Amino acid sequence: MFYQKYLINTQYWHKGAPIFVYTGNEGDIEWFAANTGFMLDIAPKFKALLVFIEHRFYGESMPFGKDSYKSAKTLGYLNSQQALADFAVLIRSLKQNLSSEASPVVVFGGSYGGMLAAWFRLKYPHIAVGALASSAPILQFDKIIPWSSFYDAVSQDFKDVSQNCYEVIKGSWAELEAISTQKEGLVELSKAFRTCKTLHSTASVLGWLWTAFVYTAMVNYPTEANFLKPLPAYPVQQMCKIIDKSPSEATKLSRSFAAASLYYNYSRTENCFEVEHEVDTHGFHGWDWQTCTEMVMPMTCSNESMFPPSGFDYKRFAEQCKMKYGVLPRQHWITTEFGGERIEKVLKRFGSNIIFSNGMQDPWSRGGVLTNISASIIALVTEKGAHHVDFRAATMDDPDWLMELRRQEVEIIQKWLNEYYLDLALGVCGPALYWRFKKTLRLAADSKFSCPPCICDCPPPLSLVKISPWLANLSDTDCGSNDPDLKQEMEKQFVDLLTEELQLQEAVAEEHARHMNITFGEAKRVASQYQREAEKCIAATETCEGARERAEALLIKERKLTTVWEHRAREMGWEGE
C-alpha cells in the first residue's frame, strides 16, 4: 500500500458519463497533463471526467518514500505490470467512491504511456472499453522490427529537410573525434560549446548533440510547443536552416553545435550549457532501471544513419546493468508478457477497441502499429505527425491533417461509447429499447399494446344424445324450440329435466327401468366431467388475464425506462431516430 498521485477534473462530468484516464508514463504526472490538452478539449463533448494517474516510482508516487531508489530490492517493484495493476485498482476505487460504477472508461496514453494504454485494454478489458495509444512503440522489442529503424527515421527527418543538413551532422562526429585526440581538446570544446564547467570527456559532448537531434526529430510539431524543451514550429526545419545558413568556413561541428543550441536555448535564457550535468527536470531517472530490466529495445545505427555506425551487444549491455543495479535484463519479457510477434494475427482474434496513432516524423513510429488489424483495432497514420502530436491542445494554427486526425479519433471513441451505452440500456430495459434502437418490432406511437385474447383449450360440451342416441326419440326433446327464453332455461336445467323424465319413464314402462338407471348414471358422470372442464377453463382464463395485466404493467415500466435511457443516450451524443 502506498500513496499514488492522480489528477482529476470534474468540470464537465456528471454521474454515469464517461471517465477518460491517462495512463501515466516515465515522469511527473503534471508534466504529461499539461501536454495532453486534447483530453481537456474533448471533455465537454463527452461530458467526461478526466483522470491523470502517476506511474509508480515517478513524480511523487514513491512506494518506499525516499528509499524507493535505494536498491534493487525496492526498485524491483518498478515495472509495467505493477503499473497496470495500480491503474486498475485506482480506477475501480474511484468509480466506487463516485457511485458511478456504470461509467465507461477509455484510457489514453502517449509514448510509453501509450504502450501502457494498449496493454491495459488487453489485460483489463472489463475495466476499459477502449484505448487511444499514441506513438506507442509496442513492437520495438526482440527482432520484430529492424534494430536500425529508430535512428534511420531520425536521419530521414533531417535528410527530408536538407541533404546538406544531414551531411553536416553526419560529418561532425569525425571532427569531434579528432578534437578529442588533441592535448587541449577538452578545453577547446568547453569554450566552443559554452559549457558552464570544463568538460571531462568528449563522450558527454557527443551525448549532448545526439540528444538534441533525436528529441527534436521526435517533437517536430507543426506549432510552437514546450514539451521536452521550448521549441518553434517544425524545429527540424529551423535547425537545418541554421546549418545551411552558416558561413562556409564554419566547421561541421560548430554548425552542429549552433543547431543543437536551438533545442537547449530557443528561449535565449541560457548563458552557458550544463553539458555534463544537465538537471532532470521531468523525473526520467526511473526509466534507466526499466530499460535494464524489462524495456530492452535493441537499437543500432546503420551506415545510412547520420549518427556514427554502431551495433547492439546484449552481453555488454547486460554487464553494464549488472554493474549499475545488480540485475540482469529480461531480454524477452515484454513480448512474453504482452506479445508482439505476429501481432496482426493475434490481436485480430481476441483484441478490440484500440486506436494506434502514429506520425511518421516520429522515429518511435517505426516500432508502432501502422496498419489496421481489425475493424475495431485501427491504425491512424499521418505523414507529418510527430511524437503524440494528436494529444496536444488544439490551436488556431493546427494544420488540416492534424484536425482531421483528432476528428477521426473522437468519432471512433464516440462509437465505442454508443455501443457501451446501448448494451447497458438493453441490459436494463430489455426488448423495449431493442425495438426502439434497432428499428424492429417497433410499436406505433399511438398504438395500445395488449395481450392477445386468452383462448382456453376447453373441450366442447359433451352431448348426451351422442351418449344415448335413443333420447332423441323422446317426445319432449323439441319442447321449447320456438321459445328462446324457455329453450335457454331448459338448457341450463337439462340434467334436472332428464332426471325427471327418467322417473316418469320408470312409472310408465317398467321394462325400461334398468336401462333408465344406466342412462341416469351416465348422465351424472358426463355432467361432472363437464363441470371439471368448466372449472379448468375458468382457472386458465383467470391466469391468462392476470398475465395480461402483469405484461401491461411491465410494458408501462419498460416504456418509462426506455424514455429515461434514450434521453441519457442522446445526452451522450447518440443521434439515432
| H helical segments located in 145-251 | 149-161, 163-180, 185-192, 202-218, 235-244
**412-to-2, 97, 130, 382 alpha-carbon distances in Å:** 36, 29, 10, 17
Interatomic CA distance for residues 48 and 18, integer angstroms = 5
**430-to-70, 169, 324, 435, 554 alpha-carbon distances in Å:** 57, 66, 61, 9, 11
Q: Is 387 a catalytic residue?
A: yes
The region, left, alpha or beta by phi > 0 then psi within -120 to 50, assigned to residue 186 is alpha
Catalytic residue among 204, 387, 388, 390: 387
| H helical segments located in 105-162 | 112-123, 149-161
Catalytic residue among 28, 152, 362, 390: 362
Q: Measuring CA to CA, which residue among 41, 22, 38 is closest to residue 30?
A: 22
* Helix, strand, coil content of the chain in percent (nearest 5): 55, 10, 40
Q: Is 256 a catalytic residue?
A: no
Catalytic residue among 61, 68, 80, 111: 111
Task: Locate 87 and state its grid cell.
Answer: 491503474
Q: Helix, strand or coil for residue 520?
A: helix
Q: Is 285 a catalytic residue?
A: no
What is the C-alpha R_g of the chain? 41
User: Over 494-513, what HEC string results?
Assistant: HHHHHHHHHHHHHHHCHHHH
Interatomic CA distance for residues 111 and 67, integer angstroms = 28
**Side-chain-facing half-sphere of 216: CA atoms under 13 Å:** 28
- In the chain, the largest separation of any two C-alpha atoms, in whole Å, equals 155
**Side-chain-facing half-sphere of 217: CA atoms under 13 Å:** 25
- Active centre residues (catalytic): 111, 362, 387
